[in-house]
């Protein structure tokens, strides 16, 4: 009897906590369909009167550039960055996981230590470097470093995973006449798909949500990503059109949340196997 009672208490607690966690998001969605007068009076989830012009008007963005442009920009920044990160990281991870070479331990330690290098320390010289290279106000500050495997978290994640792939597979492929690149393409990459998938998802979501870096590097509205566009809408609509701002916030949340639902398995496995980032 006491056990049953205990269980009921636990479930009640978990459910209440679940509501606290999810309710704000649901409220945001429902409020984006409300009139501005109603947003700050009601705590329920069902609008008295459902309106959609918040989406229509909000979508217009700055007037000159609509949220269509901002969505497209975000994809233009995020997708190449994700792809380049995956390609470069798997090459480097393969090198670290499977080969012996001079200074390997030292280089690996350097790679790990960059995980703890605060972005705040290197951001000013990077800005000046990119300015001298003429990369400011473009997406090159995001894509080119990705091409050179500077997101070391993913290298670490993939090294851990590749180490778990039995070496006998490499050996037998070698006997069959494969060189090291064949082994990477035919054995390591296909077997690392789950890890690559979760690395891709994480990188997608982190780049998608990134604000500070785009704030610093992107200046013209034409090239704004969604984070910058939302901030701009916030300043423009500060005192009037809350529902438009909410509507656009909801839209920017859709891609990460969709990915989360479709690829949940990889998410949980991804963080669980690396055990690193929170």
Partner 1 sequence: MKVTKIMKNPNFRSKFKSDYVGLLYIAPWIIGFLVFQLYPFITSFIYSFTDLSLLKTPNFVGLSNYKNLLTNDKLFYQSLKITLIYVLVAVPGKLLFALFIAMILNMKLKLINFYRTIYYMPSILGGSVALAVLWRFLFARNGLVNIVLSKLSIPAIDWLGNPDIALYTISFLTIWQFGSSMVLFLAGLKQIPAELYEAAKVDGAGRIRSFFNITLPMLTPIIFFNLIMQTINAFQQFTSAFVITKGGPLKSTYLYGLMLYDYGFKYFRMGYASAQSWILFAIIMCLTLLVFKSSPYWTYYEDGGDF
94 binds partner 1 (CB under 8 A): yes
Per CB under 8 A, the list member of 3, 106, 118, 177 interacting with partner 1 is 118
211 binds partner 1 (CB under 8 A): yes
272 binds partner 1 (CB under 8 A): yes
Task: Say how far apart CA 102 and CA 161 lie, in whole Å.
Answer: 23
68 binds partner 1 (CB under 8 A): no
116 binds partner 1 (CB under 8 A): yes
250 binds partner 1 (CB under 8 A): yes
Least CB distance to partner 1 at residue 42 (A): 7
Residues in binding contact with partner 1, number by CB under 8 A = 93
- Residue identified by tokens 């400011």 is 136
Least CB distance to partner 1 at residue 210 (A): 8
183 binds partner 1 (CB under 8 A): no
Taking residues 18 to 57 in sequence order and writing x for each that binds partner 1 by CB under 8 A, - otherwise, the string is x--xx-xx-xx--x-------xxxxx--------------
Q: Which C-beta is closer to partner 1: that of 107 or that of 221?
A: 107
Least CB distance to partner 1 at residue 65 (A): 17
156 binds partner 1 (CB under 8 A): no
Least CB distance to partner 1 at residue 181 (A): 9
216 binds partner 1 (CB under 8 A): yes
């Amino acid at each position: 009897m006491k056990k049953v009672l205990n269980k009921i208490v636990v479930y009640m607690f978990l459910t209440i906590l679940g509501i606290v966690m999810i309710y704000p998001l649901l409220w945001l969605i429902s409020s984006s369909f409300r009139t501005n007068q109603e947003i700050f009076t009601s705590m329920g989830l069902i609008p008295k009167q459902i309106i959609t012009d918040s989406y229509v008007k909000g979508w217009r963005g700055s007037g000159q550039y609509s949220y269509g442009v901002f969505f497209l920009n975000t994809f233009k920044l995020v997708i190449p960055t994700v792809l380049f990160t995956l390609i470069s990281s798997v090459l480097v991870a393969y090198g670290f996981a499977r080969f012996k070479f001079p200074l390997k331990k030292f280089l690996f330690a350097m790679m790990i230590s960059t995980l703890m290098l605060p972005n705040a320390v290197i951001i000013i010289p990077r800005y000046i470097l990119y300015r001298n290279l003429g990369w400011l106000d473009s997406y090159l500050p995001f894509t080119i470093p990705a091409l050179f495997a500077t997101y070391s978290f993913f290298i670490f994640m993939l090294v851990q995973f590749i180490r778990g792939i039995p070496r006998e597979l490499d050996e037998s492929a070698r006997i069959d006449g494969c060189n090291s690149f064949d082994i990477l393409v035919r054995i390591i990459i296909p077997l690392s798909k789950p890890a690559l998938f979760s690395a891709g998802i994480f990188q997608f979501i982190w780049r998608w949500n990134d604000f500070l870096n785009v704030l610093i590097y992107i200046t013209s509205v034409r090239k704004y990503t969604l984070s910058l566009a939302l901030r701009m809408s916030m300043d423009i609509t500060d005192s009037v059109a809350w529902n438009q701002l909410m509507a656009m916030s909801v839209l920017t949340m859709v891609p990460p949340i969709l990915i989360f639902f479709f690829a949940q398995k990889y998410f949980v496995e991804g963080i669980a196997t690396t055990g690193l980032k929170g």
